[in-house]
Structures are given as C-alpha cells and as structure tokens.
Chain A
Amino acid sequence: DAGVIQSPRHEVTEMGQEVTLRCKPISGHDYLFWYRQTMMRGLELLIYFNNNVPIDDSGMPEDRFSAKMPNASFSTLKIQPSEPRDSAVYFCASSLNPGQANYGYTFGSGTRLTVV
C-alpha cells in the first residue's frame, strides 16, 4: 500500500496564478479530507468528501478555493487566483470510517505551497 499520495511536493507560483493540488487516497477509503497547515492557524479542515460527494466545505476560505473528487481515487484542490496568504502546507488525508477509532486518518506527505 503506497499510502495517500499527494502531488506536487512543492509548488512555487506567482500571485494571481492558478494552482492545482492533487491527491490519491488509499484504495477503499470512503472519506477524503483536505487540510491546510500554517504556523499561525495550525491545522484547518478545508473540506471533506464521503463517497466522492462533498459533505462539509465550511472550512473553505473563500470562492477562490474549490475542490473536486471526480472518482474514488482522485481529488483536486484548486486555488484561483492564488495570493501570498495562501502559502501553507496542504495535506490530504483519507479514512475508511472516521467513526471507528482504530481507523483514524492516513495523511499524505503534503504539498508545500509558496505564493510570491
């Protein structure tokens, strides 16, 4: 099992450009989560999906952010247009069932985004 795979690992872009982050969850995991980590705000849940359907997007900062999950093995988080304050590490995580304690979340290695 390769775990949760995120790409790219690092992304540097100019303000105003579109950025797309990608995530491949663990096969069979029905839940997928996007988190953002910054020094100031810690870990923030942006959005999560269950069976490819967005369930809670209340953490999405604003309309510049959008997330999709076209199938069970792929999700994207897009920022358009990007701003310097979007600079952070973005994590994707998947879970078989968060309601079962022993499953927990499996996190990807993250994408470090820098907007200059």
Chain B
Amino acid sequence: GEDVEQSLFLSVREGDSSVINCTYTDSSSTYLYWYKQEPGAGLQLLTYIFSNMDMKQDQRLTVLLNKKDKHLSLRIADTQTGDSAIYFCAEFSSGTYKYIFGTGTRLKVLA
C-alpha cells in the first residue's frame, strides 16, 4: 500500500544544517515533493524532485533521493529561525493521480 513516513520532531540550532527524512513505499511515484507549513497557514510547495534524479539543489535546500531504499531527505543549510515550521514530504502516484502526504516533521530552530 501507499504510506509515507517521517519523524515527528527535529530541533536544531540557528546556523546549523537540518536534515529531514522521509520514506515512501510506492515505487511507481513519478515525483516527490517537499512542502512547508507555517503556523496558521496552508502548505507551501518548497521543491520537488523527479524520480529519475538522485539530487537537486535549490539555494539553501538540497533534496536527496535514494530510490533503492525509497528514502527522501531535505537538507536545509544555515538554518534560520524563519525555517521553523512543519515539513511534509509527498509522493505523486501516477496510478491514483493524487498526492500522498507524509505525517510531517516539526522543525524547531533554536536561537
């Protein structure tokens, strides 16, 4: 079945790197995404990666994909207090034509 799992919490100090991990089970996923949810707001698309890629970098964000292990990670360099939020990974299933969201990881950045 389709299931996307994430650790629930992560705490880092300002200026350090954050790494948020995600595992998924649907091997037919075409794209994988990272969304950010700030308090009281909806989810905002951060970045995405095609399933045939291993890595994608976008400014402070680096996405790594290990298809063999069905493991996706998001690295945030030089983490700032404004990065404190809930981060969701999501996979797009071409079979069902819909997204499956992970449980979300709450990132807390300590000043």
Contact = CB atoms under 8 A, between A and B. Distances in A.
Do A and B come together as binding partners?
yes
A91 B88 CA distance: 15
A99 B101 contact: no
Nearest to B45: A104
A43 B45 contact: no
Given A98-B97, A98-B99, A101-B50, A4 B42 contact: yes
A55 B96 CA distance: 10
Interface string A48-91: 10000001100000000000000000000000000000000001
Contacts of A42: 101-104
Contact of B42 (A45, A98, A110): A110
B98 A48 contact: yes
Contacts of B101: 42-43
Contacts of B31: 101
Interface residues of A, number: 21
Contact of B98 (A56, A91, A101, A108): A56
Contacts of B1: none
Interface of B: 30-31, 33, 35, 40-45, 48, 50, 88, 92, 94, 96-99, 101-104
28 contacts: A42-B101, A42-B102, A43-B43, A43-B88, A43-B104, A48-B98, A55-B97, A56-B98, A91-B43, A93-B42, A99-B30, A99-B92, A101-B30, A101-B33, A101-B50, A101-B92, A102-B48, A105-B35, A105-B99, A106-B45, A107-B42, A107-B43, A107-B44, A108-B42, A109-B40, A109-B42, A110-B40, A110-B41
Interface of A: 4, 33, 42-43, 45, 48, 55-56, 91, 93, 98-99, 101-102, 104-110
